[in-house]
Amino acid sequence: MKDKVVIITGGSSGIGRALALEFGARGSKVVITGRNTERLDEVAKALDSINADNLCLQLDVSIEADNQNLVKQTLDRFGRIDILINNAGISMRALFEEIELDVFKSVMDINFNGTLYATKYCLPHILESKGSIVGVSSINGYRGTPARTAYTASKYAMNGFFESLRTEVMHRGVHVMVACPGFTGTNIRNAALTADGSSQGESPRDEGKMMTSEQVAKKIYRAIQRRKRDLVLTSQGKLAVFLNKWMPSRMDKIVFNVFSKEPDSPFKK
């Protein structure tokens, strides 16, 4: 990966930040995006400290023009694009009957449309470099969970989009991978949107028992090196994908029981 130009959306925290440092430490030229300038500056300093050539851009992936600008600035700085990692994302937690449709749309705009726009404008250059396009999806892209309808819809859409795109470019040297980390100890659940669009503020799960962002980043890095098709992480995640394929009705009951026991579950009245 030395001297490869890698774009990581949502690179100012969590898995995105860990990916930026992982690629930077191994000699890649790193471009990250994010909406929080302060966090972007912190990642830029961390990359500078390991002598990683980097470009940190404050932009919103859900805005099409921002993605065009991302590609332009990357080409102006580095002259090529080898890898795109669509990592930017936001979660939510609310029953569908209670969620405001604007909140649902916001989740889709960031998680799916952000991926769509970035991939659209990076694709011509990745076709040229015969590089990689990666979607950081979720086990929710294989198995829906209650009170996360918008998040699940966005990840199913991402998985289907990349499956279709992969078959379009598979004979043109482009690698397309979907990575599903499973539960990871990041701030995504703390920042998850509630029914009215406000942040949840506190995770309903035990973050200490999850994979770290750094562990996930190393797994994704190696999978890109090996040009893997899919990456499903954690034994729990792999089991969920397997059972949902072969025992979907049973999984409906299992998933309901697990999520209804979460602290402050929306099923508890």
Active site (catalytic) residues:
151
- In this prediction, the residues of the chain whose per-residue pLDDT falls under 50 are 189, 269
In whole angstroms, what is the distance from residue 116 CA to residue 64 CA? 9
Query: Which DSSP symbol is given to 28?
Result: -
Element (H, E) at 32: strand 29-34
Q: Which residues contact 140 (CB under 8 A, 6 or more apart)?
A: 148, 151, 152, 155, 156
In whole angstroms, what is the distance from residue 75 CA to residue 66 CA? 14
Q: What are the structural domain ranges in the chain?
A: 5-235
pLDDT tens figures, 25-77? 999 999 999 999 999 999 999 999 999 999 999 999 999 999 999 999 999 99
Domain 5-235 annotated CATH 3.40.50.720: yes
Q: Hey, what are 49's tokens?
A: 């400290």
Query: What angle is formed at CA 140 by the lines to CA 134 and CA 226, rounded to 5 degrees?
Result: 30
Q: What is the pLDDT of residue 186?
A: 54
CB count, 10 Å around CB of 259? Answer: 17
Q: What is the pLDDT of residue 265?
A: 77
Q: What is the pLDDT of residue 268?
A: 62
Q: What is the DSSP string of 175-236?
A: EEEEEE--SEESSTTTT-B-TTS-B--S-SS-GGGSEEHHHHHHHHHHHHHTT-SEEE-SHH
Q: What is the pLDDT of residue 198?
A: 78
